[in-house]
Chains A and B, each alone.
Chain A
Amino acid sequence: MKWVPLGLVRYTVCLGGLSVFFFLLCILTGPFLMLYYVPDVNRAHADVMDIMQVVPFGSFVRNVHRWAACLMIVCVPAHMTRVFLQAAYKPPRQLNWLVGITLLILTYLMCFTGYMLPWDQEAYWGATIGATMAENSPFLGAKGPFSVLPPDKDIHYIMLGGTVLDQPTLSRFFFAHCIAIPGALAGLMGFHFFNIHRAGGMSGPL
């Protein structure tokens, strides 16, 4: 694999690379937040308050995590816009476009699950709204159009670990946010980069 010639980084400012950078910042700070954060409904919010007010540099580390997450959300769609405008989704890069869309969705899921971890009003009702949307989605949700699954076998139930938001929900979101989705993201990113190499490098300015 060759290094990208620096001359390729131009007006497009290497948005994909920036997405990776912000992801790495999250990966770096997240596990440190986990040292103080316990996903227990009775203490999760107090733990976040401790991180903000008591832990040395706690508010700094948490804010790096938050800002990096938000900037990643800005960079990923911007990166996709660049790819679209350069028609870089065309053969031989079709597969990588699909991988990219999966990465986009996983990034959104990362934010959705992370947003609920502080377990405050915003987190609780935000997750309620997301869960209701899942419940009303086609095929997968018990109340959506073309529903086939019963209420205790649909996506809403597996997401909440029951029918109401409670401890099982927080445990599941924690698992998704800190283990399942970052793992899938890292693996798919590797595949994404390997595909760039296989397609013969970049298609135009980064």
Chain B
Amino acid sequence: MFKPMAKAEAIDPKKIARREAIRKGLFWACWGVFVGFAGILGASIVRFAYPRIVFEPSSIFKAGKPDDYKAGSVSLIHGRGVFVVRTEKGFYALSAKCTHLGCQPIWYEDQQVFKCPCHGARFDKEGINFAGPAPLPLPRFHLSLSPDGRLLVDKSINVGMDFFLEA
């Protein structure tokens, strides 16, 4: 059975003020914990989406023996995004990534031209853009001979248009 309180005692106004302060403090502390947690969770999830380790092909790789390439040939190294070009003078490695929006140009042997299938950019054998939307030539990567006599391409080093590895 519900019994009404005998008689409301006069409560010390100081006590009331203190309880009120505690109540407010707890209220805001709860909100603080909640907002803090939400913030930490949000920031963690954003950081979570940036992998620390990626499993991707190395930017330095061997591309076979120089003798595997005929003079005048252009060869796509599959899975590496690089063309190895051999001229009479020597070798150079061109990026197989169109400077427009990143598709992979195709080498047309009969016309001696690279054409990009995405929006029709054209590059000559030196990788120089001469038609279509591509604003820049295909970058050239550093090429050297590894100690075991293979071509060594380093995609992390861009070299000038006059760079080539003597045959």
Q: Do A and B bind each other?
A: yes
Q: What residue in chain B is nearest A157 (Cβ atoms)?
A: B50
A139 to chain B, nearest CB (A): 16
B102 to chain A, nearest CB (A): 4
B54 CB contacts on chain A under 8 angstroms: 161-163, 168
Asked if A198 is at the interface of the complex by the 8 Å CB criterion, the answer is: no
Asked if B103 is at the interface of the complex by the 8 Å CB criterion, the answer is: yes
A163 CB contacts on chain B under 8 angstroms: 54, 56
Q: Is the CB of A166 within 8 A of B56?
A: yes
From A67-75, A102-110, A124-132, give the one contacting chain B.
Answer: A124-132
Asked if A153 is at the interface of the complex by the 8 Å CB criterion, the answer is: yes
Asked if A158 is at the interface of the complex by the 8 Å CB criterion, the answer is: yes
Q: Mark A157-192 against chain B: 1 for CB-CB distance below 8 A, else 0.
A: 110011110101000000000000000000000000
Interface size of A in residues (CB-CB distance below 8 Å) = 16
Q: Is the CB of B56 within 8 A of A164?
A: yes
B50 CB contacts on chain A under 8 angstroms: 152-153, 157-158
Q: Is the CB of B51 within 8 A of A128?
A: no
B11 to chain A, nearest CB (A): 44
Query: A166 to B102, alpha carbons, bound, how many Å?
Result: 15
Asked if B101 is at the interface of the complex by the 8 Å CB criterion, the answer is: yes
| Residue among B49, B51, B101 making CB contact with A129, cutoff 8 Å | B101
B51 CB contacts on chain A under 8 angstroms: 161-162, 168
Query: A132 to B54, alpha carbons, bound, how many Å?
Result: 19
Q: Is the CB of A125 within 8 A of B49?
A: no
Q: Mark B99-126 against chain A: 1 for CB-CB distance below 8 A, else 0.
A: 0011110000000000001100000000
B104 CB contacts on chain A under 8 angstroms: 125
Q: Is the CB of A125 within 8 A of B56?
A: no
Q: Is the CB of A132 within 8 A of B56?
A: no
Asked if A133 is at the interface of the complex by the 8 Å CB criterion, the answer is: yes
Query: A162 to B50, alpha carbons, bound, how many Å?
Result: 8
| Residue among B55, B57, B118 making CB contact with A125, cutoff 8 Å | B118
B125 to chain A, nearest CB (A): 23
B102 CB contacts on chain A under 8 angstroms: 128-129, 131-132
Query: A168 to B50, alpha carbons, bound, how many Å?
Result: 11
Query: A152 to B103, alpha carbons, bound, how many Å?
Result: 21
Query: A158 to B118, alpha carbons, bound, how many Å?
Result: 24
A128 CB contacts on chain B under 8 angstroms: 101-103
A41 to chain B, nearest CB (A): 12
B91 to chain A, nearest CB (A): 24
A161 CB contacts on chain B under 8 angstroms: 49, 51, 54
A-B contact pairs, 28 of them (CB 8 A): A125-B103, A125-B104, A125-B118, A128-B101, A128-B102, A128-B103, A129-B101, A129-B102, A129-B103, A129-B118, A131-B102, A132-B102, A152-B50, A153-B50, A157-B50, A158-B49, A158-B50, A161-B49, A161-B51, A161-B54, A162-B54, A162-B55, A162-B56, A163-B54, A164-B56, A166-B56, A168-B51, A168-B54
The 7 residue pairs across chains A and B that have the minimum distance between CB atoms: A132-B102, A162-B54, A129-B101, A132-B101, A128-B102, A125-B103, A158-B49
Q: What 6 additional pairs, Cβ within 8 angstroms, besides A161-B54, A162-B56, A164-B56?
A: A129-B118, A132-B102, A158-B50, A161-B49, A163-B54, A168-B51
